[in-house]
Amino acid sequence: MSDSAPVRIDDAERVEAIKRLRRAEGQIAGVIRMLEAERDCREVVTQLAAASRALDRAGFAIVAGGLRHCLEDPTDGGDTEELERLFLSLA
C-alpha cells in the first residue's frame, strides 16, 4: 500500500465502521460540551473512554477488513506487511 489506494472492505464492514465512527463523533462532541459546561471529571473521563473505544473498534475493523481482502486477493496491490504495521499501530 505504498501508493494511495482505497480502503477495501466489504459493504457490511464499511457500514459498521461508519456507524462506530459516527458514534465516536457524537461522543467526542459530548466531551467538548461537558468540558465547556465544566461537568464532573468522572463523567468526562467516562465519555472520553467510550469515544476512544469506539475509535479503536472502528480502526480494528477497517484494518482487519483490509487485511482479509489483501489475503484473499494478493494481486490487488495490497501490502500485507504495511497493513499489519497499521493494525499494530492501533494497539
pLDDT tens profile 53-77: 989 888 888 888 877 776 677 666 5
The pLDDT tens digits of the residues spanning 7-66 come to 678 888 889 889 989 999 999 999 999 999 999 999 999 999 999 998 988 888 888 887
- pTM (2 d.p.): 0.70
Q: How far is it, in rounded angstroms, from Cα 48 to Cα 34?
A: 10
Asked if the structure places residue 6 within a domain, the reply is: no
CATH code of the domain containing 48 = 1.20.58.1000
Residue 3 lies in a domain: no
Whether 5 maps to a domain, the answer reads no
Q: Give the domain range for residue 58.
A: 11-89
